[in-house]
Each structure stands twice: as C-alpha cells, then as structure tokens.
Amino acid sequence: MERFTRFLKVPNVVARHDPVVQPIYQSSIFRMPDHQVAAATEEAVHPTSYYTRWGNPTVSYLENQLSTLLGCNATLVFPSGMSAITTTLLALVSPGERILASRALYGDTTRFLVEELGRFGIEVDFFDPSRPQHLPELLARGAKVVYFESISNPELRVADFDAIRSACESREVLTVCDCTFSPPGVLGEKVRAADLVIHSLTKYMSGHYTVFGGSVSGWQALIDRIWHKQALYGACIDPQAAWQISQGLKTLELRIARQNATAQLLAQRLASHRHVEQVFYPPLDPRPEVASLAQKYLTGGGAVITAALKGGRAAAVRLIENTEVFGLSVSLGGITSCAEHAQSMSHSMLGAMDASTLSDASVSVPADNLVRLSVGVEDPGDLLRDLTSALELSGMPVATRAVAGEFVKG
C-alpha cells in the first residue's frame, strides 16, 4: 500500500479512560461496520454517528444536557435561535392552517410570522400573552399553534403560562414558548412553560458572546417530527459550536445568580433617577399585572432591564453612546454588559415592514425612548457608576455635554 494511502487510513485513537470533558467529534461522516448497520441507520431518526447533518455525538451530548436542565424528554440543537424558531414552526403548521402569536416578540420573529409564513399560506393572529383572556375566542378560529415569549422583548411583560395552557389544552392546540429571556434561574423550576420550549443559546445558555446556537425542547414525538424538517433544511449546528455552548452551560447557575442580583440593584436605582421616565424589570415592575405574574412564575428577574428615558430618542442615544462598562451592542445574556436602543437595533426590522400591516395585527413596536440593558458579571458598583454618569450626560443640552463628559470620565 502506498505511503499516502496508509497515512489516510491511520486508525482513530480512542481514549483508554473516560474524558472529563465531552470530546469534539469534528467529523461530517462516520464509518459503518457493515451494510446492514448502514442501511438501518439511514432509516433511523436522529442518529448520532452517521452523517453530522442528521446528528453528531458532541451535538447529542449538548442536547442531553439541555433536556436534563429543562426537564424535557428530548431536545434538538440548531445553528441559531432564529433557525430553531423557523424550523419548529414550519414543522408544526401546514398551508391553510393558523398560528396565534404574541404581539410583542423579537423583531425578526415578528417579521417571519407576518411576511414569510404568509407566503406558505399560513395565517397569523396576534394576542397579548400577559392578558390572555381573549385567547379562547381567538382559538375558536381554528389555530394549530400558539407561539409566545416567556418575557416579552423589550418591555419585559411576563406571560400568563397557566392561563395560556388551560385555554390551549381544552382545544388540543400546541404551545411553543421562546424562553430565551427566562433560562433556569429566572423561570421557576416547576413552571411548565409550553409543550415546546425554544432558547437562543447565543444568549444566557452559552453566556460568553462567542458562539451562535438555538434549541427546541419538549415531548419526544414532537421533537422527532421537527428533526425531519431540521435534517431536510440542513439546519444543523457545527460540533465545535455545540462544544462551546456545552462548556458555557456548566457555569449558567453561577452567572445567572450574579446577573439577577446586579440587575435588581441597578433597576432599583434607575427607577428613582430624575432622567428616567419608567423602568421595566419584572420583579419591580410598576404595572401590577406584570409584577403579579413575575411573583407567580419567576425565581429571578434576569439580566435584562429596559428603561424609558425622559427626552425621547435623543436622550436614549446619548445614554448608550456615553457608557464605558456597558458596551454598545445588540445582544444580551452574556458575561459582559451591553446597551442598545431597541427601536433602531434589535427591533429595527419592524420599521422596514408595512406600518398598516403592523397596526392591523396590533403588533407592538418599541417606543423611541427605550434603552435595553443587558447586565453582565462585572462589579455592580462599576456598572452603577457607569450608568449614572451616562444618564447625567443623556439629560444635558448638547452644548454642555462635551465639557461635562470630560469632567465625568476624567
């Protein structure tokens, strides 16, 4: 046998003892022992070592971690949160059927529901998950799926899980909840959010702003159904990314505890600041219905605070441009703090949509004075001083801001 051929055929090295950390199986294919096994695996659902678009041992390990953490039968992992959302919904709903969705969602989720699903002949109606008293009436129109977020983005309204489940179970309607804003440590352990729970693993779960990922968890039969679409659409995560998320998950409890405590402290201080019109943070929310639902379903407030500033958009932009510890970034849930102007950043895609369509659907568009803050694990005192300094600058006339900025930051 020629040397280069022998080189390509060098056997894999397998650890003699169990590794402490799940190895990365960075392989797109796996060698089958015989044709019978190969043919059987070709017909299997979600095999872990046949073709990585269908499954991979490193990916399966992450899926098992998530199922254990979330108390679910099974999980699928995707290359992004949006991939998890779109694939799940397309697997559950067919042309001519109807979805009921929250009117306050992440911007691209709303855009997918309003623009893309219409192309497939799927109709979408909207409701308020924090006030689902009209849900039975809407369900009477024949909805197949109810889709909502556990905590709305960016105004942080908590969904009434029990009321939604009660209305849907009586009509055998599937519920799908995006729980990105309420990972374990925020949502109560005994809360049953929905039949299927989605997470953007890019956020809290991985926690370090180094990787993209998404997941859907729930009953095995539903997950198997979604897997067929995932494999067909090619919505598979790379094993390296799955491994990174897997490592991030191991510190989730520690990170969430720190972020909950710091965010609550900052929310309390912001609520009394003279340049702040209103603070949205579930456990401290001035809206009684939100605070009541937060007390019922949440064990922590999470790392996200949304503040409505006096002075409108100009004040909001001045705030996010004058922070030093809070970076001007669009994401959330990681170890470093960041701030954004919700209307023009995370929800900017709503501005590109037809205004009358959004109005007819009663879709919620963020106000122009909203700043969304994601609290990391930095020193709470440093974060508070950073926000206080930036807030002082946000409320100053333009002519005096530069001089004041030199004084504050010097």
Calculate the average pLDDT of the chain.
Answer: 92
Task: Give the model's confidence band at 398: pLDDT under 50 very low, under 70 low, under 90 confident, else very high.
Answer: very low
Task: Check pLDDT > 80 for residue 18.
Answer: yes
* 267 alpha-carbon distance from chain centroid: 21
Q: Are 62 and 239 in contact (CB under 8 A)?
A: no
Beta-carbon contacts of 125 under 8 Å, excluding residues fewer than 6 positions away, are 98, 99, 100, 101, 138, 141, 143, 361
Mind listing the pLDDT tens digit for each residue in 45-66? Answer: 999 999 999 999 999 999 999 9
Kindly list the domain boundaries of the chain, sorted by start residue.
Answer: 35-249, 252-409
Question: Average pLDDT, stretch 368-395?
Answer: 95
**What is the share, in percent, of the chain residues with pLDDT greater than 70?**
93
pTM: 0.92
What CA–CA distances, in Å, run from 172 to 130, 139, 168, 221, 272? 21, 10, 6, 15, 46
Overall fold of domain 35-249:
Aspartate Aminotransferase; domain 2 (3.40.640)
d(CA 348, CA 344): 4
Helices and strands per DSSP (H, E), number in the chain: 17, 12
Q: Are 213 and 237 in contact (CB under 8 A)?
A: yes
Lowest mean pLDDT among 26-40, 273-287, 353-367: 353-367
Overall fold of domain 252-409:
Aspartate Aminotransferase, domain 1 (3.90.1150)
Q: Are 90 and 229 in contact (CB under 8 A)?
A: yes
Mind listing the pLDDT tens digit for each residue in 69-106? Answer: 999 999 999 999 999 999 999 999 999 999 999 999 99
d(CA 348, CA 112): 14
Q: Are 169 and 136 in contact (CB under 8 A)?
A: no
Domains 35-249 and 252-409 share a fold: no
Q: What is the pLDDT of residue 286?
A: 84
Q: What is the pLDDT of residue 5?
A: 86
Task: Give the model's confidence band at 399: pLDDT under 50 very low, under 70 low, under 90 confident, else very high.
Answer: very low
Beta-carbon contacts of 160 under 8 Å, excluding residues fewer than 6 positions away, are 129, 130, 131, 132, 293
Q: What is the pLDDT of residue 11?
A: 86
Higher pLDDT, 13 or 177: 177
Mind listing the pLDDT tens digit for each residue in 214-257? Answer: 999 999 999 999 999 999 999 999 999 999 999 999 999 999 99
Q: What is the pLDDT of residue 360?
A: 57
